Structure 1
Amino acid sequence: MSIDGQVDLETERAHGARIYDYILGGTDNFAADREAGEGSLRIWPALRAHMQANRAFMHRVARFLAAERGITQFLDIGSGLPTSPNLHEIVRSVDPAATVVYTDIDPLVLAQAPSMLGAAGAGTVYVAGDMRDPRTFIDTPEFRRTLDLGEPVGVLLIAIVHFIEDDAEALRVVRQVLDLLPSGSFLAMSIATDEFDPVPLARVREEYNRLGETLIFRDRPTALSFFDGLELEEPGLVQVHKWHPDGTEPAGVRDSDIAMYGAVGRKP
């Protein structure tokens, strides 16, 4: 993965984070990523609308937590490549003093993301860490300088748990993050599901597996179990385009176009 101490970006092969960037309209991708993205779109033409809806859900969640719940500290786990507007841009439009920690374990993301954040300024850091062991990022000096675990934190796990195949392991990962956070913190998640259009999504899963990427779909009861013990914000667990819609959603999006559940819960 490294050449003379430098991370090899492996531009000749498709990479999940860069495919996502391409489909969202970003520019931090290469020919192999664009080819893979177009291949996935041919299999499931709704993929772009689905990914845009997931990104828009993140924006609405962040704005809601900052504006409606007064959260000033945010932790984005498995954040991938920054695509503007980023989390810090959203929350700082509400509170310019809001602080944000982005974390990821992917060496390709870690090589590209810090410079892509550009002029994010103080109070925004990118920390290497494994979501399966939150101490790998929570115990870093960068994290401790940026977030105060004595105060509520808004945690975002957006389109990330589908990389964990085992349900029990995925639930453990989420639970151990929550256990480290104080009362009044919030968990926002989007969780991949194939319940609304299973046939083409089975082919999408095969394509991602062919590229070496995990893609696990979960049903509604399993998705809801991630929020056990939390106080769900209205409207509870719904497809992401139905969570606090604000009128900016693309016209003509059908339920079958969206393969993500989303919800926000408060730790009592």
Structure 2
Amino acid sequence: MRGRDAGRKAIQPDFSKPSVARMYDWLIGGRDNYPVDREACKELLQIAPSTRELALVNRAFLVRAVRYLAEECGITQYIDHGSGLPTSPNVHQVVQQFHSDARVVYVDNDPIVLGHGKMMLAEDTATTAVILQDMRNTEAIFESDEVRRLIDRNMPIACLFVSVLHCVPEKDDPWKLVRDAARRLPPGSYLVISQLASDDEQLRSDITQFMREITGGNWGEVRSLDEVGRFFEGLELVEAQAPCEVSLWRPDSEIGPRQKTKEWVEFGGVARLP
């Protein structure tokens, strides 16, 4: 889970209910959360004790994937779907270590994320932006003023869907969402995808029901490993033969962070458009 309610219509903040964005923030050691979020996390940890570890592993995967795309693939344009609350290092900070003029657009439908993002990017508006938009509305994202201003559609782009697709219910077809984004990208572009997954059907059901209840329906579902694998159909996986538990994707070292317990995992990878 990566801190956002990205699969839903934008609404005013409701501090009486836990927010996926703020829960994720607490799990990775952030400060932009409230007692209701912390209590929800503690309940979730009783169902899936490795959730904090999972969140940290996922964040490390995001940083490694972006570093790989910037340093080794030369990608200088990024659209981060469901970006969540700012957490250092953010995508633009990683990329701009290698390309000072790299451009990043953050997308989220949480008004709190928009507010924090605008403050964070106040001095970087020439190369970065944050927009308030439902990530399912691909056309609105790609035709937005900020994407038009910053993203050159004739050059390779990296689209990030990192720990967000589980916020999209099956009825809204998250696989079509990924295909719609991919078909708007030029050849040589990349997608980074991870989502919460488990092959334990009962666990999937328990966590999905819990998250839907505490967030007031702002949740999709935990999926099987095979279901997550479908996001990569028609794409060329890089640095891996198949989607994997993300701590295993180009680990920094043999003693790097791993998700040891397996009640659920972040499952995914990095893929290139042919």
* TM over 0.5, shorter chain: yes
**Which of 184, 187, 198 is the aligned partner of 2:188?**
184
Deviations 1:36-89 (A, max 9, x none): 122212332211000111111100100000011110111101111111111111
Q: 107-116 or 152-161, which moves further after superposition?
A: 107-116
Do structure 1's residue 27 and structure 2's residue 31 form an aligned pair? yes
Contact 1:49 1:258 in 2 (8 A): no
Match of 2:213 among 199, 210, 213: 210
Instruction: Evaluate the alpha carbon distance shift between residue 118 and residue 30 of structure 1 in structure 2; reply closer, same or farther with a 3 A threshold.
Output: farther
Matched, 1:245 2:251: yes
Moved more, 73-82 or 213-222: 213-222
Report the CA distance between 1:9 and its aligned residue: 3.2
- Choose which of 230, 235, 244 in structure 2 pairs with 1:230: 235
1:267–1:112 CA distance, 2 compared to 1 (3 A)? same
- Name the amino acid aligned to 2:46: R
CA displacement at 1:255 relative to structure 2:
5.0
Residue from 16, 27, 33 that aligns with 2:20 = 16
SS in 2 for 1:155: strand
Match of 1:113 among 81, 97, 117: 117
Task: Decide which moves more: 115-124 or 28-37.
Answer: 115-124
Question: What is the percentage of aligned positions where both structures have the same residue?
Answer: 35
Gap change, CA 1:204 and 1:148, over 3 Å in 2 = same
Query: Of residues 53, 57, 61 in structure 2, which corresponds to 1:53?
Result: 57
Unaligned 5+ runs, structure 1: 1-6
Residues 86-114 of structure 1: per-residue CA shift (max 9 Å, x gap): 11111111222211000112334324332
Q: Is 1:139 aligned to residue 143 of structure 2?
A: yes
Does residue 193 of structure 1 match 2:197? yes
- The answer (yes or no) to whether the contact 2:229–2:268 under 8 Å persists in 1 is no
Tell whether the 8 Å contact from 1:241 to 1:258 is kept in structure 2 after alignment. Answer: no
Are 2:207 and 2:222, in contact at CA under 8 Å, matched by a contact in 1? Answer: no
Q: How does 1:149-188 map to 2 (within 5 A)?
A: 149-166=153-170, 169-188=173-192
Distance (Å, rounded) in 1 between the aligned partners of 2:74 and 2:23: 34
CA distance in 2, matches of 1:154, 1:255: 30
| Aligned CA-pair RMSD | 2.1
Moved more, 222-231 or 154-163: 222-231
1:261 aligns with 2:261: no
Query: Is the 8 Å Cα contact of residues 194 and 219 (structure 1) preserved in structure 2?
Result: yes
- Cα offset for 1:201? 5.2
Q: Distance in 2 between matches of 1:39 and 1:219?
A: 22
Q: Which amino acid aligns with 1:216?
A: E
1:95 match: 99
Q: Work out whether residues 53 and 249 of structure 1, in 8 Å CA contact, stay in contact via their aligned partners in 2.
A: no
1:124 partner letter: T
- Gap change, CA 1:222 and 1:8, over 3 Å in 2: closer
- Which residue is equivalent to 2:48? 44
1:112-138 per-residue CA deviation (whole Å, 9 max, x = no partner) reads 332244544520100122222212121
